[in-house]
């Protein structure tokens, strides 16, 4: 069975990869299911998709354990900010965490992985637009932060992640992230969403995080604060 949203994004990824002279298989699609319930997600699983993203631990905990129980190969990525009191649940449920941006969180993830004997794929989020309200380490502090994760906590940092400011041209942000990854010897780049994944792929994305282009539009989030 096919899934039209998934199919069109897969084709878009393929087109963007070929246009950039890249192997389409080098780009992984994280289907972002935040706000969608199990019934909306199941057709994508039935269509053979296995990699999904959620931005809140509580929401993921409510819907994914039962989905995971019926489909053995699913891999869940936490793409939103993580609070200390949710680290244990996050390490149990997810295979990857994309928004590591402070020492305290990096430290508690390290401890929890040790305790649960689980190894997650870890990404450092960089706040490329230096936006006050946005998570992520400042670009100028990224090298030092990554070095600290590696040397003090013995963590393997697989990738970097960013969310460009909504009003900006995303390309300079993707290039900035790619440059930080390159000089730190980091292979994976988690960048690109429904509106800009083709640009992200042209700039080297290895993971794109796409929600609405697959599942349709979401209700507007409640105002922050
Ligand atoms: C919601 C979300 C996405 C997907 O956004 P779309 O515009 O629906 O593709 C990607 N990354 C993060 C961090 C998100 O919170």
Which atom of ligand 1 approaches the CA of 163 most closely? 13
Q: Kindly report, residue by residue over 182-202, the tens digit of the pLDDT.
A: 999 999 999 999 999 999 999
Q: Find the 184 Cα to ligand 1 centroid distance in Å.
A: 26
Please write the tens of the pLDDT for every residue from 7-46: 999 999 999 999 999 999 999 999 999 999 999 999 999 9
What's the CA gap between 175 and 190, in Å, rounded? Answer: 12
Query: Bridge-partner residues for 161, per DSSP?
Result: 125, 190
Give, in order, the Cα–Cα distances in Å from 106 to each of 95, 114, 183, 186.
15, 12, 21, 17
> CB under 6 Å to ligand 1: residues?
32, 34, 55, 79-80, 163, 193-194, 209-213
Query: Alpha-carbon distance 189 to 124, whole Å?
Result: 10
pLDDT band at 222 (very low <50, low <70, confident <90, very high): low
Task: Give residue 219's pLDDT band: very low, low, confident or very high (50, 70, 90).
Answer: confident
Q: Mark out the alpha helices in the chain (DSSP H runs).
A: 4-19, 38-46, 57-70, 87-93, 103-116, 142-151, 171-183, 197-202, 212-215
Q: pTM value?
A: 0.96
CA of 35 to the centre of ligand 1 (A): 11
User: Which two three-digit tokens encode residue 41?
Assistant: 């997600």
Tell me the C-alpha distance between 99 and 110, whole Å: 14
- pLDDT, tens only, 108-119: 999 999 999 999
Whether the CB-CB separation of 132 and 153 falls below 8 Å is answered with no
Q: How far apart are CA 67 and CA 44, in angstroms?
A: 12
Distance from residue 27's CA to the centre of ligand 1 (Å): 16
Q: Dihedral, CA atoms, 18, 13, 53, 190, nearest 10 degrees?
A: 40
Instruction: Name 7's Cβ contacts closer than 8 Å, sequence gap at least 6.
Output: 47
CA distance 100 to 207: 16
Q: What is the pLDDT of residues 127-165, one digit of tens each?
A: 999 999 999 999 999 999 999 999 999 999 999 999 999
């Amino acid at each position: 069975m096919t899934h039209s949203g998934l199919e069109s994004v897969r084709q878009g990824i393929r087109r963007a990869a070929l246009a950039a002279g890249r192997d389409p298989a080098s780009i992984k699609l994280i289907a972002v299911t935040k706000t969608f319930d199990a019934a909306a997600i199941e057709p994508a699983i039935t269509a053979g998709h296995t990699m999904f993203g959620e931005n809140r631990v509580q929401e993921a905990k409510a819907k994914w354990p039962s989905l995971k129980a019926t489909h053995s190969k699913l891999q869940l990525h936490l793409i939103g900010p993580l609070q200390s009191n949710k680290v244990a649940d996050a390490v149990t449920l997810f295979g990857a965490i994309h928004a590591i941006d402070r020492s305290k969180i990096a430290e508690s993830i390290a401890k929890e992985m040790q305790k649960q004997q689980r190894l997650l794929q870890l990404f450092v989020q960089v706040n490329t637009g230096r936006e006050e309200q946005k998570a992520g380490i400042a670009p100028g502090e990224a090298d030092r932060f990554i070095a600290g994760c590696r040397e003090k906590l013995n963590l393997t940092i697989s990738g970097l992640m960013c969310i460009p400011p909504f009003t900006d041209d995303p390309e300079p942000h993707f290039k900035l992230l790619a440059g930080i990854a390159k000089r730190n010897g980091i292979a994976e780049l988690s960048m690109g969403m429904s509106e800009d994944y083709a640009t992200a792929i042209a700039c080297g994305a290895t993971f794109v995080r796409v929600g609405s282009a697959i599942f349709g539009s979401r209700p507007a989030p409640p105002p922050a604060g």
